[in-house]
Amino acid sequence: MTDATLNATLELLRAGKKIPANALAGADLRGVDLSNVRLQNLDLRGARLDGANLTRTTWSACHLNEVRFDKAVLSRASFTACQGRGLSLRSSQADWVRMKQCAWEDGDFQQVNLTRLSASGVTFVGCRLQGSTLFQSRLSECDLSDLDLRGVAWAQCHFPDSRLRGTRFTGATLTQCTFNRVDASNADFSGAQAPAASFYAAQLAGARFEAALLDRAIFDQARLDKTNFARASLNGARLYGVRSLGVTFTGGKLVRADLSHLQATHADFSHADLTGALLHAVQLPDASWHQTVLADVRRDDPELRAAELWRPPV
């Protein structure tokens, strides 16, 4: 494509006109200004958009295989029903970006500013996010399974109903993050700093939380089959109505934790500190209590039990 033809094509885009679906495939668009442009049903495979101004662009049903967005400005861009294998957004500015029903595979999202990202129904198969920043972001019904997310800066991020199977958050700082109703089976949160995080109704079978900081965290209604909390700090945490087979809290701290209605077969509390914990209406058959600290533990609360069983008169 000659420079004249490319410039004419870009002018058509800026004017809101349609262009052939593959008109920009492999095009060199480094540093161009396409702010506020709408791109629909286009195949840009192999295009170079490094350093481009793509602020407020709208991408719909576009194919973005091997497209390079490195160091581009994508602030407030929107991607709907797009797909891309091997695309790269390395070191780009992508704050306030919206993604809906997109499929990214083997993408490079490293060192990207993804502040206020809003993603719904997006898959990130084999993608790399090391060094990226996600602040006040929401990833709803997304799939980040098996990703290595160590080295990502998380703060006030939310993952409702997402799939995080086998995902690695080892040593991550998860400030005010929520994982409500996620499937994080076999995920690794070992050493994570996640005070007051919420895992409400999460599926956490086989997940690892060894030595994690989970003070005041919420695990209400979660499934914790063979989940490992060894040496974790769960002081003041809530595990109301949790169900489990083989959960371990060995050497953990559960001071004043609320374990009301916990149903856990073969739970291991060996060497754990449950000082002041609430064990109201728990069912713990075959639990291990070797050298467990149970000072001031609060067991069944008669008044609470009566309140739970109360039914209005007919």
Question: Domains of the chain: which residue ranges?
Answer: 1-143, 146-314
Domains 1-143 and 146-314 share a fold: yes
Q: How many CB atoms lie within 10 A of CB 181?
A: 17
Q: What CA–CA distance (Å, rounded) separates 150 from 54?
A: 28
The angle subtended at Cα 204 by Cα 198 and Cα 209, nearest 5°, is 75
Whole-angstrom distance, CA of residue 92 vs CA of residue 159 = 23
CATH superfamily membership of 1-143: E3 ubiquitin-protein ligase SopA (2.160.20.80)
Report the sign of the C-alpha dihedral through residues 19, 56, 53, 48, in that order. Answer: negative
How many CA atoms lie within 13 Å of 288's alpha carbon, on the beta-carbon side? 15
Question: CB atoms < 10 A from the CB of 120, how many?
Answer: 18
Neighbours of 7 (CB within 10 A): 12
Contact predicate 186/203, CB 8 Å: no
Question: With a cut of 70, which residues of the chain have pLDDT below it?
Answer: 1, 305-306, 309-310
Q: Check residue 310 and give its pLDDT.
A: 65
Helix (H) or strand (E) holding 92, with range, is none
Q: What is the pLDDT of residue 138?
A: 97
pLDDT of 299: 87
Query: What pLDDT score does 256 carry?
Result: 98
| pLDDT confidence of residue 132 | 95
What pLDDT, on a 0 to 100 scale, did the predictor assign at position 277?
97
Q: Which two tokens stand for residue 61?
A: 């049903």
Per-residue pLDDT tens over the stretch 255-311: 999 999 999 999 999 999 999 999 999 999 999 999 999 999 998 777 776 677 667
- pLDDT, residue 4, reads 83
Which helix (H) or strand (E) segment holds residue 304: the answer is helix 302-309
Q: How far apart are the first and last CA of the chain?
A: 80
Distance CA 130, CA 56 (A): 25
**Domain topology for 146-314:** Pectate Lyase C-like (2.160.20)
Angle, CA of 259, 180 and 129, to the nearest 5°: 125
pLDDT value at residue 1: 59
Query: Alpha-carbon distance 184 to 262, whole Å?
Result: 20
d(CA 165, CA 184): 5
For the chain, the farthest-separated pair of C-alpha atoms sits apart, in whole angstroms, at 83
